[in-house]
Amino acid sequence: MKTYAIRGTRTKLTGHYRQDGTRITFCNKPVGIPNGDFLGLTGWKMCTRCVKAEQRDRAHAEQVAAQFAEPMPQPIVIIPCGAAKLDHAAPAAELYTGSYHRACRRAADTLTANGGTILILSALHGLVPLDRILAPYDMRMGAAGSVTPDLLRKQARELGVDRATNVTIIAGLSYTAPALAVWPHAATPLAGLPGMGHHLRALAAIAAAEQAPAAETGPDLYAPRGSRNLTTGHLLDDATGRAHCGAELAGPNGAAVLTCAACRHAVEAEAAVEPMAPADREAAEVEAMFAAQLVTEAEATVGTWRGEWIGQAAADGALFTLTPDREQGALFA
């Protein structure tokens, strides 16, 4: 394994391991030049912290790889009910007619196109399979009489999905919160999006599989450490070795269908404030100096406000001289 010196240090005889995808060593110091050529020289040694940390990281990576090598569990997708409904009893898959619910349903259909289960989170009935017959009702999540997290946990056990590891919750905050009480590790692709318009655009993108993995022009997506939920991929921050949202990463996630919203927003924010390159900054400074020079020269030109009016002010300090008007009488006497 390649070893490196610490940047800025005089001695190059201590070998350090670099964390994959970063410029940071396993002992959390900045990476310098490769120093493997010094191996065998008198005084050569390996950083103990780097060796131990690399061994732990490799063991965990092998464990995660073994988990990922197992058959991928079928996804469980939770979507919300809706206020708009048919005026008669119908299967849950048909009962809700609102545009937001239908958008969530289309996204869920995409995520389960190769198998999986869609459950509707009803404010009155809790977790409902698509084929369950329901009569129209009027209940909002969080209102008196609506379902509780304890009831949802019980229903999840009865449905055999309480221990599911591949769960995605496609819903607003009022429905996502109680569902997370059942599956705290679940992916929440709409989390952090500010309003209905952003939700609908994200749902349309999921439904159209625009966020599908293996997009050759898109960035690599990574799996979070300690989770087997591969639905959401995270973006690597090369400076820290973590995801842009702060999560620890285990390795590439080729099964991701969604991109972590927090990672995406962080990357967009960094791009928006990205400093100018030195050459661009120098060109901008030269352009500003040239513009200032043009203004100065223009102000000094005869015929301008500064050159004509102030430049020809009377010696006594008066800005201009008034000629008395005979009709104004004593005003100028």
Domain count, the chain: 4
Give the domain CATH number at 182. Answer: 3.40.50
Tokens 């092998």 locate to 62
Same domain, 97 and 124: yes
d(CA 138, CA 238): 50
pLDDT value for 216: 38
Beta-carbon count within 10 A of 280 CB: 10
| pTM of the shown model | 0.48
Residue 214 is predicted with a pLDDT of 34
Q: What is the pLDDT of residues 86-138, one digit of tens each?
A: 999 999 999 999 999 999 999 999 999 989 999 999 999 999 999 999 999 99
Distance separating alpha carbons of residues 277 and 247, to the nearest angstrom:
30
How many Å separate Cα 276 from the centre of its chain? 23
Q: Please, where are the H alpha helices in the chain?
A: 48-69, 92-95, 99-111, 149-159, 173-180, 196-207, 261-272, 278-299
pLDDT score, position 332: 47
Residues 76, 65 share a domain: no
Q: For residue 32, what are its two tokens?
A: 């310098």
**Nearest residue to 236 via CA among 211, 253, 212, 257:** 253
26/65 same-domain check? yes
* Separation between Cα atoms, residue 238 and residue 236, nearest integer Å: 6
* 22 vs 18: CA distance, rounded Å: 7
**Per-residue pLDDT band at 313 (split at 50, 70, 90):** very low
Q: How many CA atoms lie within 13 A of 1 on its CB side?
A: 14
Question: Do residues 130 and 203 both lie within one domain?
Answer: yes
Q: If pLDDT is split at 50, 70 and 90, which confidence band does 327 have?
A: low
Residues 104 and 201 in one domain: yes
Separation CA 259–CA 120 (nearest Å): 23
In this predicted structure, the answer to whether residue 274 has a pLDDT above a threshold of 60 is: no
Q: Is there a single domain that holds both residue 115 and residue 187?
A: yes
> What does the block give as tokens for 136?
């129209």
Q: Same structural domain for residues 141 and 96?
A: yes
Q: What sign does the dihedral 140-143-145-148 (CA atoms) show?
A: positive
Residue 245 structural domain:
211-274
More confident: 12 or 147:
147
Say yes or no: 85 and 171 in one domain: yes
- What does the CA dihedral 225, 228, 230, 234 come to, rounded to 10 degrees? -10
CA–CA gap between residue 303 and residue 300 (Å, rounded): 9
Assess whether pLDDT exceeds 50 at residue 183: yes
Residue 158: C-alpha distances to residues 151, 152, 162, 183 (Å): 11, 10, 8, 15
